Amino acid sequence: MELRHLRYFSVLAEELHFGRAAARLAISQPPLSVAIRQLEDSIGARLFERNSKEVRLTPAGQAMRLSARKILAQAEEAALEARDAAAGLIGSLRIGFVGAMLYRGLPQALRGFQARYPGVRIKLTEMNSGEQITELMHNGLDLGFVHTSRMPEELESRLLVSEPFVCCLPARHPLGRKTSVRPAELRDQSLVLFAQGVSPDYHDRILSICAEAGFRPQVRHEARHWLAVVSLVSQGLGVALVPQALRHSALRGAVFRPLAGARARSDAYGVSRRDARNPLIGRLLDEFGDPPSQV
């Protein structure tokens, strides 16, 4: 039994006339007659009573008519879904992200994307950069948002955000009264640092800012998430160098000042497998707009 047989049967069941049914199907009458006989042979029952005057459905044909309509409708729906999936209109995306992306355009990108593709299911999981790379390598994610540009050859990345570091200070810290802070002014301060095991890139960039200013920082605390870094600072447990976007975290007790003269920047990348075939990946990344210029 083929879908063609069911389609021919369904039209003939509506017309109850071989000539009119053949005309609707844009075929001649003999192929229609052959297809109906093949269908009857395949199910082992007569579907039509026919003579020189009329064509009528048998009880088996009446029952078959309802089932045929349902099967044809399901087949059409499946075909539409397949075409939509191929065009990237439906489907799913498994996305990993570092927490700082909540302040670096990810919510806005997701909102725009879902307005354009409401049929796409999105699963979000917060992970550090290393965890995301591991999941991407094992096909556990379709797309990651990470802090590092160092990754295996099997992955490709797109720079999405590039911004300066700023100085995060307790609200009542003396340096908070200044409009900007020079890295050298942090020489004698206790530093809250992003953990090296979570993001070696960020750890090394922050240390490089201090080294360029001629000192090795006094690291008092290390944290696995940027919000934890800012929270520790807000409680008076040290100062920190954080991505500029963290100014929008709105944690009470912390203030942010531009970092004068520092060259290191905070970058964020969209990462996927080079062999990925999901067109939704590129469409979500496009929501971030043109890549920033490298500084």
Output the domain CATH number for residue 243: 3.40.190.10
CA torsion sign for 232, 234, 240, 243 is positive
81 three-class SS? helix
For the record, the structure tokens of 8 come out as 């021919």
Give the pLDDT confidence score for residue 293 in this predicted structure: 62
> Are 117 and 254 contained in the same domain?
no
Predicted confidence band of residue 115 (pLDDT cuts 50, 70, 90): very high
Residue 32 lies in a domain: yes
> Are 134 and 277 contained in the same domain?
yes
> Are 168 and 247 contained in the same domain?
yes
Number of domains in the chain: 3
Give the pLDDT confidence score for residue 195 in this predicted structure: 85
Residues above pLDDT 90, as percent of the chain: 55
| Residue 152, domain extent | 90-159+267-286
Give the pLDDT confidence score for residue 211 in this predicted structure: 94
Fill in the DSSP letter of residue 181.
Answer: B
Residue that is last in its domain, among 45, 69, 86 = 86
Candidates 150, 145, 156, 178; CA nearest to 245 is: 145
Are 147 and 201 in contact by the 8 Å Cβ rule? The answer is yes
Mean pLDDT for the chain? Answer: 89
Q: 205-253, pLDDT tens digit by residue?
A: 999 999 999 999 999 899 988 889 999 999 999 999 999 999 988 789 9
Residues β-bridged to residue 242: 166
Residue 295 lies in a domain: no
Q: Give me Rg for the CA atoms of the chain.
A: 32
Residues β-bridged to residue 165: 243
Instruction: Find where tokens 């920082």 sit.
Output: 217
Residue 53 lies in a domain: yes
For the record, the structure tokens of 200 come out as 């070696």
Angle subtended at Cα 101 by Cα 223 and Cα 97, rounded to the nearest 5 degrees: 80
Residue 96 lies in a domain: yes
Cα 152 from Cα 156, distance rounded (Å): 8
Q: Is the pTM of this model over 0.85?
A: no
Fill in the DSSP letter of residue 58.
Answer: -
Residue 74 lies in a domain: yes
Fill in the DSSP letter of residue 53.
Answer: S
Candidates 81, 143, 84, 85; CA nearest to 110 is: 143
Residues β-bridged to residue 121: 92
> Are 36 and 58 contained in the same domain?
yes
Candidates 103, 144, 142, 120; CA nearest to 249 is: 103
Residue 109 in this model has a pLDDT that exceeds 70: yes
> Are 254 and 228 contained in the same domain?
yes
> Are 142 and 278 contained in the same domain?
yes
Residues β-bridged to residue 241: 167
Residue 291 lies in a domain: no
Are 214 and 220 in contact by the 8 Å Cβ rule? The answer is no
- Would you give the distance in Å from CA 51 to the centre of its chain? 61
Q: 23-72, pLDDT tens digit by residue?
A: 998 999 999 899 999 988 988 989 999 887 889 999 998 888 888 888 88
Residue 294 in this model has a pLDDT that exceeds 80: no
